[in-house]
């Protein structure tokens, strides 16, 4: 093998200079309006290059006079005690019993949706049409007597999926206008339950068993929300009701907007 007589170290090629990020003097003078105030301070820049690497730029930041921090937070409504989720409201009256899958068109037929609840006379008319869509063959006792605006049945007892069908706020409003204070059902359609809370017209209460099979139209009943029970005075039996939960204070206040005003979330109408 031949001996190595000399060694030439490898020298990496010098990196080509980077183009200046700033315009040349000729470019600045060609557009004085654009570059008249462009006077970069090159003393603020350090250039560092190493072998096999592109140039890197290091910027020195000028120190700024420190100012005390001012913490700001969003304004909040005046603090008030949180409402209790348990109410001691009691309802007493004669009940009207219906079965499963009572839809909103049976509660208030579509032809009466032109009535405006915010108008007192039309609100009253809504009550006269409450549950007028029920089939007379199955429910021979009218919920509201002809030529009347109020019902004598202040408590409605229903089966499963009460308030199903199309979404209409008029459904709980019509019941409330007719004089219904509470509905006790095995379950509710979601939108009807929400509309009942939002309008504050009726309490949508759920029973733990099918009370609609335990009671009959004309029974005298009492609902004790605080105790979570329904008492049928006609039969002497009691039935457990599910807790009303956080929606109780909203319904007590008269609906979601009335509750928001009461809690200071939105301005009162007198403001």
CATH number of the domain where residue 241 is located: 3.20.19.10
Question: Does residue 80 lie within any of the structural domains?
Answer: no
Tell me the pLDDT of the chain averaged across its residues.
81
Return the bridge partners of 146, or none.
Answer: none
Helical H runs in 134-255?
170-178, 190-199, 247-253
Question: Does residue 84 lie within any of the structural domains?
Answer: no
Which residue pairs, CB below 8 angstroms and at least 24 apart, start in 120-129?
123/173, 123/177, 124/149, 124/177, 125/149, 126/170, 126/173, 126/174, 126/177, 126/178, 127/151, 127/174, 127/176, 127/177, 127/178, 127/179, 128/178, 129/174
Question: Does residue 128 lie within any of the structural domains?
Answer: yes
Q: pLDDT (tens digit, 9 = 90+) per residue, 91-109?
A: 999 999 999 999 999 999 9
Question: Does residue 159 lie within any of the structural domains?
Answer: yes
pLDDT given for residue 125 in this prediction: 96
pLDDT given for residue 268 in this prediction: 81
Residue 261's φ and ψ, nearest 5 degrees, are -65, -40
Question: Does residue 51 lie within any of the structural domains?
Answer: no
Question: Does residue 63 lie within any of the structural domains?
Answer: no
pLDDT given for residue 17 in this prediction: 59
Structural domain of 193: 92-262
Q: Whose CA is closest to 230, among 252, 251, 202, 209?
A: 209
Q: How many domains does the chain have?
A: 1
pLDDT given for residue 9 in this prediction: 56
Which residues of the chain fall short of a pLDDT of 50? 28-51, 53-62, 64-67, 69-86
User: What is the pTM (predicted TM-score) of this model?
Assistant: 0.68
Block residue for tokens 């807790």: 243
Query: Under DSSP, is residue 103 helix (H, G, I), strand (E, B) or coil?
Result: strand
Question: Does residue 202 lie within any of the structural domains?
Answer: yes
Question: Does residue 14 lie within any of the structural domains?
Answer: no
């Amino acid at each position: 093998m031949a001996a190595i007589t000399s060694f030439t170290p490898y020298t990496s090629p010098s990196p080509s200079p980077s183009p200046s990020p700033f315009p040349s003097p000729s470019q600045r003078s060609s557009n004085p309006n654009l570059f008249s105030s462009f006077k970069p301070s090159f003393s603020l820049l350090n250039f560092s290059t190493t072998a096999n690497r592109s140039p890197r730029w290091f910027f020195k930041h000028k120190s700024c006079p420190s100012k005390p921090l001012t913490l700001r937070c969003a304004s909040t409504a005046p603090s008030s005690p949180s409402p209790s989720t348990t109410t001691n409201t009691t309802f007493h009256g004669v009940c009207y019993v219906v079965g499963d899958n009572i839809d909103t068109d049976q509660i208030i037929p579509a032809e009466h949706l032109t009535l405006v609840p915010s108008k007192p006379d039309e609100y009253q008319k809504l009550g006269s049409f409450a549950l007028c869509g029920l089939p007379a063959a199955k429910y021979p006792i009218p919920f509201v007597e002809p030529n009347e605006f109020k019902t004598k049945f202040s408590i409605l007892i229903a089966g499963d999926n009460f308030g199903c069908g199309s979404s209409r706020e008029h459904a709980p409003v019509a019941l409330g206008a007719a004089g219904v204070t509470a509905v006790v059902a095995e379950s509710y359609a979601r939108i009807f339950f929400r509309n009942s809370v939002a309008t504050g017209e009726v309490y949508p209460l759920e029973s733990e068993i099918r009370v609609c099979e335990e009671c009959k139209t004309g029974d005298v009943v009492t609902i004790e929300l605080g105790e979570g029970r329904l008492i049928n005075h006609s039969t002497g039996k009691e039935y457990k009701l599910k807790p009303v939960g956080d929606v109780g204070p909203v319904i007590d206040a008269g609906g979601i907007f009335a509750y928001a005003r009461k809690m200071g979330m939105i301005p009162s109408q007198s403001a």
